[in-house]
Structure 1
Amino acid sequence: MTLPLPFPPRPALVNRRSLWLLLALLALLWSLAQAGVGQRDTVLINGGGWGQFGEFWRASLSPSLDPEFLGVMGQATLVTLAYGVCGTTLSLILGLGGGIVTSTIWWQTVLPPSAQGWDWGRSLGLGVRGVLLLPRVIHELIWGLLLLNILGLDPLVAVLAIALPFGAIVAKVFSEILDHTDPKPLHGLIQAGVPPLTAFLYGLLPQALPNLLSYAFYRFE
């Protein structure tokens, strides 16, 4: 006769997850209060916009096919595509460099822990990760507004607004790919006397290259 399995103990109401949930709710309520939501003079829905909303949808059902208008739209589409390609390409270049210097395996290779137990490489890696966290959390539209005030109306603003935040995202993913690549060939080359940088280039990067290229094409998609 099989005895029934006992029910798992009920989790405590006050735990790590509930505290994080409470903190998130408090942050949401504070944000709504700062935005003025709930005040008497705050209007959440503008009734005058329904007319424009209806005009937009009626126009979308019968788009203009005027040759001049199609030419403008075609040129604007090509410009948008060019910005996207340039921004994504630059983000991959930045992400490759950032992914290497934020990966744990890189610092373990170039700055292994000393005999006294000091792990300077790990500290430097955490510091670089903290620096790359900032561009990742700022939306590309905010980057565009900031760069617009610095560079003015320049195409470089659009390219950098795409490349900076997405370059930091690519760096995070690339570093995880490098850290999950088999390090045995790398360690074998280092033990054979190969310089750390050369061992990293020939012992780790070729193995990680298929996954790096796969994610790079995903970013373009």
Structure 2
Amino acid sequence: MDLILEGIWKAITLIVTLDPEVLGITLLSLKVSGTATLISLFFGIFSGTVVALTRFPGRKIVVSLINTGMGLPPVVVGLFVTIFLWRNGPLGFLEILYTPTAIIVAQSVIATPIVTGITLAAMQNLPPKLRLQILALGATRMQMLGLLIREARLPLLAAVMAGFGGVISEVGASIMVGGNIMGYSRVLTTATVMETGRGNFDTAIALSIILLLLAYLINYVLTRIQQRERPR
């Protein structure tokens, strides 16, 4: 119990004093996970909408793959991203392994199936005849897609929260592709693992509390937006 209280006190101290190292790690975590979430939204909403609105051979297999991807183990993602970015790998010429960019790539791969799956479910829950009604009113297909996405905006906000939550708390892939380099590619989760391994439990608890607060604040803002948009 004393150890937990020490960790809480240290977290308060680090936050109040704006510790440069912790501040840098926190900002990098936000930058990396925020960018990965935006990338996953771009690909996930597009692909989820396409799969939901079209019928093609093998569609059930594709949907099953998307649903499986929603639970994709981060360490598996980290392994394959590392192989692809390795100096002798297919994308080794990019020379981004052990950089924040590599973490963004890995986290994007983790978050995209989550966003895709939620988008797919949201679009399928819309009234089946809604598309025909929109087109009958003279809308183009692009306008129709825009209106459908607008109608599904509440569950899509849930997709944003799920995607961001999945990557901000991810640790396995971040360590594997980022290298946990101090002042360069160290984020809150990897720093927590490192401090725990060193036996610095008070610091690890402090970093965990900061991570929880960060995740809560982001999701609180998104939840306020979602609930404000809820139909009455």
Which bin holds the TM-score, normalised by the shorter protein?
A: 0.5 to 0.7
**What amino acid sits opposite 1:171 in the alignment?**
T
More helix by share: 2
- Quote the residue 1:98 is aligned against: 47
Q: Supply the RMSD in Å over aligned alpha carbons.
A: 3.7
Structure 2 residue 63 is the aligned partner of structure 1 residue 129: yes
Q: Is 1:178 the counterpart of 2:123 in the alignment? A: yes
- Give TM-score, length-normalised by structure 2: 0.51
Q: Amino acid of the residue matched to residue 149 of structure 1?
A: I
3-state SS, counterpart of residue 46 of structure 2:
helix
1:188 deviates by 2.8
Instruction: For residues 146-171 of structure 1, give each alpha carbon's deviation from its aligned partner in whole angstroms, at most 9, with x where no partner exists.
Output: 31233222322211221112210111
> Alignment partner for residue 77 of structure 1, among 26, 31, 42?
26
1:94–1:168 Cα contact (<8 Å) kept: no
Corresponding residue number in structure 2 for 1:164: 109
Write the distance in 1 (CA, Å) between the matches of 2:130 and 2:102.
42
Larger radius of gyration: 1
Question: Match for residue 211 of structure 1?
Answer: 155
Q: Measured at CA, do residues 154 and 135 of structure 1 come closer, stay the same or move farther in structure 2, by a change above 3 Å? A: farther
Q: Is the 8 A contact 2:114 2:159 kept in 1?
A: no
Matches of 1:133 and 1:180 in 2, distance apart?
16
Q: Decide whether the 8 Å contact of 1:84 with 1:159 is kept in 2.
A: yes
Q: Which residue of 2 aligns with 1:14?
A: none
Tell me the TM-score normalized by structure 1: 0.54
Q: Tell me if 1:150 matches 2:84.
A: yes
Closer, same or farther: CA 80–189 of 1 in aligned 2, 3 Å: closer
How far is 1:218 from its partner?
Answer: 5.6
**Match of 2:21, as an amino acid?**
V
> Cα deviations across residues 66-120 of structure 1 (Å, max 9, x unaligned)?
9x992112111111111111111111112102211321xx11xxxxxxxxxxxxx
Higher relative contact order (CA 8 A, sep 6+): 2
The list of structure 1 runs, each at least 4 consecutive aligned residues, that deviate by more than 6 angstroms after superposition, is: 56-59, 192-195
Q: CA deviation at 1:191?
A: 5.8
1:60 Cα offset (Å):
3.5
SS, match of residue 121 in structure 2: helix
Deviations 1:124-152 (A, max 9, x none): 42243244355434322331233123322
Unaligned runs of 5+ in 2: 86-96, 165-218, 220-232
Gaps of 5+ in 1: 1-55, 108-120
Q: Percent identity of the aligned residues?
A: 17
